[in-house]
């Protein structure tokens, strides 16, 4: 039970946890949050819970030293511990078996590093209490795939759950579940069918359709998860953590990655890019800082060649926009949109298909000028287009900025609540009859 679309989570764990959280006195809510989070991981994999607990308690002990004279040493030890565990985890993931790795360890380590840095820099004014710290580290609705909430964003004041926050959180959760099950999972079925066919055997039109399927599949899987995670937090009285801001409405690659997985982008900016000097120390230093940040970004996703290639291509696009196109606003306006609408979806192939050999095969079918592969059925695209028409059309619709803004404004209206209620039960129907795929970002 490690996915939010699992019936066990939806109808057993979550209702019982929320009931316990609401009825206990406020002084005990952080303890309930911590114990419930550990139970969540233990139900998924007891080994994850063991590793998780060890990291949490080590970081708590180091955080106490941050309030004393040797706090600089404690900060260095904490960063070395957390960064070292993350590097080890990525190496194990790439070259071995990761059964002992806590779920969502990348998000956990970044959360711990930011906590220690904020404590050292005085951004956390009051010394955090025991269960307050443990609850922050272990939040079961954020660790698997984020968002990366800062301590000051959620624990500055004690969360106060209300019937109103529960209602709003349920609406957000239903919206996210619908995106995951009715859009991302339907597209995943098509994605897996094409994968089983073999990239070298598909037609060029189908490979371009595959790019579109990959794009919307990843987008609605992760956006759906983010809404579900933030929805659970809102139910418990935490503030809504925004992780997406219509990224495909961006005008450049840089803007896209400020609006896609926003909490990861802001973490990298605040704890790596700005401390290195950002863009205020000349062009050469800016070049180095951007290169270093994107190296970290690629490695955070995985230390395998496809991820480093993905990061390198995006870095080159960002450098091209920042140092060349920015001199001509008209060129940036046109080419920046092209980068977002065409090139970023192409980079998702590198991100998704697995090996460099598969990447080369896919691009050989996209641009069939080098004799890579042979099409078995020139009309294969028609079948997949027909099967994926509804989720693909919905994908385009939900990338229209004015529509998204309008829907957000209607969130408190009864008609939208009824629509979300219907979509929730339709999603449950599909989960029950066909199962739900694991969230894609859960691998990180």
Contact partners, residue 329, CB within 8 Å, separation at least 6 = none
Kindly report the pTM of this predicted structure.
Answer: 0.90
Burial zone of 236 (CB within 10 Å; 0-12 exposed, 13-18 middle, 19+ buried): buried
- pLDDT value at residue 205: 92
- What distance in Å separates the CA atoms of residue 83 and residue 299, rounded to the nearest whole number? 12
User: Cα(first)–Cα(last) distance of the chain, in Å?
Assistant: 17
Cα–Cα nearest to 2, from 190, 141, 124: 141
- pLDDT value at residue 377: 81
List the alpha helices (DSSP H) in 139-203. Answer: 151-154, 163-178, 185-197
Alpha-carbon distances, residue 328 vs 144, 249, 318, 334 (angstroms): 42, 20, 15, 10
- pLDDT value at residue 6: 86
- pLDDT value at residue 49: 81
Q: 186-223 burial, b if ≥16 CB within 10 A, otherwise e?
A: bbbebbeebeebebebbbbbbbbbbbbbbbbbbbbbbb
- What distance in Å separates the CA atoms of residue 206 and residue 200, rounded to the nearest whole number? 11
Q: Are 440 and 224 in contact (CB under 8 A)?
A: no
- What distance in Å separates the CA atoms of residue 260 and residue 341, rounded to the nearest whole number? 14
pLDDT by position in tens, the chain (length 444): 567 888 889 999 999 999 999 999 998 999 999 999 999 988 877 877 888 888 899 999 888 877 777 788 888 999 999 999 888 888 877 776 555 556 678 888 899 999 999 998 888 877 788 899 999 998 998 877 778 888 888 787 778 899 999 999 999 999 999 999 999 999 998 988 888 888 888 899 999 999 999 999 999 999 999 999 999 999 999 999 989 988 998 999 999 999 999 999 999 999 999 999 988 888 899 999 999 999 999 988 888 888 999 999 999 999 999 999 888 888 888 999 999 999 999 999 988 887 888 888 899 889 988 777 677 788 888 999 998 899 999 989 988 888 888 888 887 788 999 999 999 999 999 888 876 565 555 555
For the chain, the structural domain boundaries read 7-159, 166-443
- 151, HSE (Cβ side, Cα atoms, 13 Å): 27
Tokens at 149, concatenated: 């909430």
- pLDDT value at residue 322: 92
Alpha-carbon distances, residue 354 vs 23, 79, 154, 387, 430 (angstroms): 47, 30, 36, 25, 28
- pLDDT value at residue 443: 54
- What distance in Å separates the CA atoms of residue 300 and residue 105, rounded to the nearest whole number? 10
- pLDDT value at residue 88: 85
């Amino acid at each position: 039970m490690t996915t939010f679309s699992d019936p066990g989570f939806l109808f057993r764990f979550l209702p019982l946890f929320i009931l316990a959280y609401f009825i206990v006195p406020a002084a005990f809510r952080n303890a309930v949050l911590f114990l419930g989070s550990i139970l969540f991981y233990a139900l998924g994999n007891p080994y994850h819970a063991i590793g998780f607990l060890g990291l949490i308690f080590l970081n708590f002990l180091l955080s106490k030293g941050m309030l004393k004279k040797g706090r600089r040493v404690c900060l260095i030890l904490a960063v070395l511990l957390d960064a070292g565990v993350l590097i080890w985890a990525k190496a194990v993931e790439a070259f071995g078996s990761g059964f002992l790795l806590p779920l969502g360890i990348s998000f956990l380590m970044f959360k711990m590093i930011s906590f220690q840095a904020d404590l050292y820099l005085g951004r956390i004014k009051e010394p955090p209490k025991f269960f307050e710290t443990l609850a922050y580290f272990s939040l079961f609705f954020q660790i698997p795939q984020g968002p990366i909430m800062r301590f000051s964003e959620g624990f500055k004041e004690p969360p106060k759950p209300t019937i109103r926050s529960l209602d709003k959180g349920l609406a957000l959760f239903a919206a996210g579940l619908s995106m995951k099950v009715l859009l991302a999972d339907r597209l995943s079925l098509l994605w897996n069918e094409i994968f089983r066919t073999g990239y070298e055997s598909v037609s060029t039109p189908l490979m371009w359709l595959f790019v579109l399927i990959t794009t919307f599949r990843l987008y609605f899987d992760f956006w759906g998860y983010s809404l579900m995670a933030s929805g659970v937090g809102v139910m418990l009285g935490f503030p809504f953590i925004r992780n997406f801001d219509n990224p495909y409405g961006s005008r450049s690659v840089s803007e896209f990655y400020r609006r896609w997985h926003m909490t990861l982008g802001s973490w990298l900016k605040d704890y790596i890019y700005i401390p290195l000097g950002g863009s205020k120390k000349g062009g050469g230093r800016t070049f180095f800082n951007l290169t270093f940040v994107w190296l970290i970004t690629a490695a955070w996703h995985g230390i395998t060649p496809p991820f480093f290639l993905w990061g390198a291509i995006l870095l080159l696009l960002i450098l091209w926009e920042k140092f060349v196109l920015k001199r001509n606003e008209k060129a940036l306006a046109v080419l920046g949109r092209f980068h977002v609408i065409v090139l970023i979806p192409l980079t998702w192939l590198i991100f998704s298909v697995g090996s460099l050999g598969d990447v080369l095969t896919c691009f050989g079918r996209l641009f069939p000028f080098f004799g890579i592969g042979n099409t078995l059925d020139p009309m294969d695209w028609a079948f997949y287009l027909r099967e994926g028409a509804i989720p693909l059309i919905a994908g385009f619709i939900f990338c229209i900025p004015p529509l998204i803004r309008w829907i957000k404004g209607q969130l408190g209206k009864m008609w939208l609540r009824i629509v979300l209620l219907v979509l929730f039960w339709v999603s449950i129907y599909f989960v029950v009859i066909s199962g739900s795929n694991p969230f894609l970002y859960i691998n990180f």
